[in-house]
Amino acid sequence: MARGRSVFHLMALKQKVALARKTKAVNTLQEELNRTENVRDRLEEMAEGMTVPLGKTTVGHLRSASWYGNQVQEQLKTISNRAEFLSEEVASHRRDAARVRHQHNLAVEKGEAHDRQQRDLREEKAEAALPPRRSFKR
């Protein structure tokens, strides 16, 4: 074990590393969620903008407009599902990070309490090792 380090300090260090990993994962997922929401917004704009022009149109034009409209709707559905999944993952990872942060704080508090207790114990032993003091009465 590390010199002068209690188990609580080592646990706090372990929790600190886990917290850093969780934070990195949350940031990565949040970036991906932002990109996904951006793509979803663009697809929604495209879907709104796809209309058949009034007037004379050909059958081929109607078919291609319908096909492209279906493709956009399918992609919009897929990206919406992905955004929903990512938002749930971000929330889940944030809960996990909060739990790890709480465990880290507990380990730090217990480590500090342990250190205080050890310091008090050492001081008591040092005082007991000293010869008793005489009080001089005048």
Cα–Cα distance measured from residue 40 to residue 62, given in angstroms and rounded to the nearest whole number: 25
Mean pLDDT of the chain: 87
Spatial distance between the Cα atoms of 99 and 128, rounded to a whole number of angstroms? 43
- List phi, psi (to 5°) of 133: -85, 140
Residue 39 lies in a domain: yes
Q: Total structural domains in the chain?
A: 1
Q: pLDDT tens digit string along 53-103?
A: 777 778 888 888 889 889 999 999 999 999 999 999 999 999 999 999 999
Give residue 3's pLDDT.
57
Q: Residue 14: inside a domain, yes or no?
A: yes
Confidence band, pLDDT 50/70/90 cuts, at residue 130: confident
Domain containing 68: what range?
7-126
Residues above pLDDT 70, as percent of the chain: 94
